[in-house]
Chain A
């Protein structure tokens, strides 16, 4: 009898360890992590025999840039180089929700993907021809059209691609979300790291450190430019944002900070904004605004978030048991759209 009860307690212990019994629900409104967990998207490009194909990333998601030489904004999707007429494939099985051909330079297709009980949408812009219709059921082997746009002089031949949390026939209504998590298990695009300006937010419970990675990638270039600094602004409640500088992990593109050093008591909810900056001399890196936030904002924000005139998204962290952080979740809207002033892709 004693043996059975011992066995039972071992089984229960193993079960308890394997199911996240210590998880605590957090008051957040948006969580990318729950969306991304189980979906591995494919490249929209394929070789002749259907193998996934890499294409050079011109502009990453949430990477700042100088649009038309003056306005510093953030790229809402990913730009891939693609010759005109390149076949474009669906990145995951789904249902076509939008086919918009109203502007020949901005023809786009949106496909709905069911990820568990959540829906996300892949968006393909600047198509030249389109082979799908609204309501089509597509798989990863379905060609949805060919890349464009019709002319090379305004946008250049390329595919603008991204993931959104909604769909709309009005392009400016789309809410873009990070791309990296859908490709982190992929062999393409440097395991997805070439897709987002900042990516891979995580917490190491053993070292009690938060980590975030990122780098800048210039136009038609394979060069990856490291940040000259990664800053973390944090606060509790609605107070001022406090600044600390994160440490680069060796020569990698990852940066870390030991949260326990801040000395917060258990159950404190800490909000954080991360700012990745590159040197101002890098071509097309936003000119005088050579940084961007994580979570990203559309218009390149002030370096110091205390100067922000509008609300902002942030990462919300609950401190447990002397800096054991249990959950890391994005809080607030996915992108601040208060400063929209032009439809730009």
Chain B
């Protein structure tokens, strides 16, 4: 009799425990309500607390969740689960995993890898361009054949990596490539490197290299600037044939655009050392109580006063609108470059960090909200600009 009671008690405990597990396994719940009726933030996706140690992020149309097979993307204004296909590819006898994500029509949405020292530069149909700092090589991967073709020659000016490496000391180290970037039409690759030559000997001096992805040929740009002063981080495509680059001279940075077809280099502006944000042919930086925006296509600039000193996390452009998070107060700022108007959306998120994630294909601004403690994403919102204007 006693055993029966004990067994019953254990069964009840087991049942309750199972219910608890089932509840906590409820993965992601889509919500459509807002913070409040007057809120300008519309909650569109909630990442439940059922995952331990997950991190997630969204950019533009895609939602990524690490550590799990789920990835969502915006399809007909709804987040939809993408099809994931993990592909194992051999590079230098090392197996690496590249995760490929497809939409409902079997189009490749994006690719990712979690491996240290690797980066996905670009995807196009059945091709992924991958940078690998372990082997100092950039690969063109055929995702169907699972073949990785090395793009960079193993020598520059006839000298190998090891020969350049032997020149390295504490003050100057060989960088075979840095910050590679592929143009929109997937025809050219540009990167920074300090592999150079002087009097027929290998020499470490910075410069920009361009590779034709069709023919595989590459060359170092001959620019009318002191090549040694070209900065490694700011090499951007303005269009398929035009690059933006930056030089430094102690306390001055100079911005240039260079056209590869007519070999023309044009100076845009010069600034004291300033962190400059560049995205989609827009260059933006803040001065005291002002943001300065350059249109890199027209080379026109405008200055827009800000309500206070701001600290910009990252900029996202959608036609004439530029959005960013002000790290000082977690507010979201949208600048309309055609009207010169600046809208500030104060953060309504308690105990959380909010960051602009990008514009979705409907022209709505996506906002990621992170938990302060874990820095993991917990909710994704979109901003209702109409509502903001109503409240104003």
Residue positions of A touching B, CB distance < 8 A: 1, 3-4, 43, 46-54, 56, 58, 79, 81, 83-87, 92-93, 104, 128-133, 135-143, 145-146, 150-153, 155-158, 187-188, 219-220
- Return 11 A-B CB contacts under 8 Å, by A number: A49-B121, A51-B116, A87-B233, A128-B273, A133-B327, A142-B313, A150-B250, A153-B171, A187-B116, A188-B116, A219-B169
| Cβ-based interface call for B231 (8 A) | yes
Q: Are the C-beta atoms of B375 and A84 separated by less than 8 Å? A: no
Q: Are the C-beta atoms of A133 and B116 separated by less than 8 Å? A: no
- Tell me the complex Cα distance, A299–B105, Å: 65
- Tell me the complex Cα distance, A133–B313, Å: 11
Question: What chain A residues lie within 8 Å of B2 (beta carbons)?
Answer: 1
- Tell me the complex Cα distance, A266–B115, Å: 48
User: Min CB distance, B110 to chain A, in Å?
Assistant: 10
User: Min CB distance, B52 to chain A, in Å?
Assistant: 14
Q: Are the C-beta atoms of B232 and A85 separated by less than 8 Å? A: yes
| Cβ-based interface call for B183 (8 A) | no
Question: What chain B residues lie within 8 Å of A157 (beta carbons)?
Answer: 171-172
Pick the contact of A146 from B114, B231, B311 — CB < 8 Å? Answer: B231
| Cβ-based interface call for B173 (8 A) | yes
- Tell me the complex Cα distance, A181–B207, Å: 38
Question: What chain B residues lie within 8 Å of A3 (beta carbons)?
Answer: 3, 6
Q: Are the C-beta atoms of B275 and A131 separated by less than 8 Å? A: yes
Pick the contact of A49 from B119, B253, B311 — CB < 8 Å? Answer: B119
Chain A residue nearest to B180 (CB atoms) is A48
Q: Are the C-beta atoms of B168 and A83 separated by less than 8 Å? A: no
Question: What chain B residues lie within 8 Å of A135 (beta carbons)?
Answer: 328
Q: State whether A51 and B313 are in contact (beta carbons under 8 Å apart), knowing that A83-B232, A140-B375, A157-B171 are contacts in the complex.
A: no
Question: What chain B residues lie within 8 Å of A152 (beta carbons)?
Answer: 171-172
Q: Are the C-beta atoms of B173 and A53 separated by less than 8 Å? A: no
Question: What chain A residues lie within 8 Å of B313 (beta carbons)?
Answer: 142
Interface centre among A4, A51, A142 (most CB of B within 10 A): A51
Q: Are the C-beta atoms of B370 and A139 separated by less than 8 Å? A: yes
User: Min CB distance, B233 to chain A, in Å?
Assistant: 4
Pick the contact of B231 from A1, A84, A156, A219 — CB < 8 Å? Answer: A84
Question: What chain B residues lie within 8 Å of A220 (beta carbons)?
Answer: 168-170, 173
A-B pairs with lowest CB-CB distance, top 7: A47-B119, A156-B171, A85-B231, A131-B275, A219-B170, A136-B327, A48-B119
Q: State whether A48 and B121 are in contact (beta carbons under 8 Å apart), knowing that A84-B232, A145-B275 are contacts in the complex.
A: yes
Q: Are the C-beta atoms of B6 and A51 separated by less than 8 Å? A: no
Q: Are the C-beta atoms of A133 and B121 separated by less than 8 Å? A: no
- Tell me the complex Cα distance, A220–B204, Å: 14
Q: Are the C-beta atoms of A137 and B353 separated by less than 8 Å? A: yes
Residue-wise, chain B 55-71 has the 8 Å CB interface mask toward A (1 for contact) of 00100000000000000
| Cβ-based interface call for B175 (8 A) | yes
**A interface: dominant SS:** loop
Chain B residue nearest to A188 (CB atoms) is B116
User: Min CB distance, B333 to chain A, in Å?
Assistant: 14
Interface centre among A48, A150, A157, A219 (most CB of B within 10 A): A48
Q: State whether A130 and B232 are in contact (beta carbons under 8 Å apart), knowing that A49-B120, A137-B327, A151-B250 are contacts in the complex.
A: no
Question: What chain A residues lie within 8 Å of B180 (beta carbons)?
Answer: 48
Question: What chain A residues lie within 8 Å of B332 (beta carbons)?
Answer: none
Q: State whether A81 and B113 are in contact (beta carbons under 8 Å apart), knowing that A133-B311, A139-B353 are contacts in the complex.
A: no
Question: What chain B residues lie within 8 Å of A54 (beta carbons)?
Answer: 116-117, 133
User: Min CB distance, A98 to chain B, in Å?
Assistant: 14
Q: Are the C-beta atoms of B327 and A48 separated by less than 8 Å? A: no
- Tell me the complex Cα distance, A81–B204, Å: 14
Residue-wise, chain B 269-308 has the 8 Å CB interface mask toward A (1 for contact) of 0000111100000000000000000000000000000000
- Tell me the complex Cα distance, A342–B117, Å: 36
Q: Are the C-beta atoms of A129 and B275 separated by less than 8 Å? A: yes
- Tell me the complex Cα distance, A128–B273, Å: 7
User: Min CB distance, B227 to chain A, in Å?
Assistant: 13
- Tell me the complex Cα distance, A259–B372, Å: 44
Q: Are the C-beta atoms of A93 and B273 separated by less than 8 Å? A: no
- Tell me the complex Cα distance, A140–B313, Å: 12
Q: Are the C-beta atoms of A85 and B248 separated by less than 8 Å? A: yes
Question: What chain A residues lie within 8 Å of B112 (beta carbons)?
Answer: 49
- Tell me the complex Cα distance, A315–B75, Å: 59
| Cβ-based interface call for B196 (8 A) | no
Chain B residue nearest to A135 (CB atoms) is B328
Q: State whether A53 and B275 are in contact (beta carbons under 8 Å apart), knowing that A81-B173, A136-B311 are contacts in the complex.
A: no
Chain B residue nearest to A104 (CB atoms) is B251
Q: B residues 148-190 with Cβ under 8 Å of A? A: 168-173, 175, 178-181
- Tell me the complex Cα distance, A158–B179, Å: 17
Residue-wise, chain B 343-364 has the 8 Å CB interface mask toward A (1 for contact) of 0000000000101000000000
Q: Are the C-beta atoms of A139 and B375 separated by less than 8 Å? A: yes
Pick the contact of A142 from B113, B327, B328 — CB < 8 Å? Answer: B327
Q: State whether A138 and B248 are in contact (beta carbons under 8 Å apart), knowing that A83-B232, A85-B234, A157-B171 are contacts in the complex.
A: no
User: Min CB distance, A50 to chain B, in Å?
Assistant: 8
| Cβ-based interface call for B264 (8 A) | no
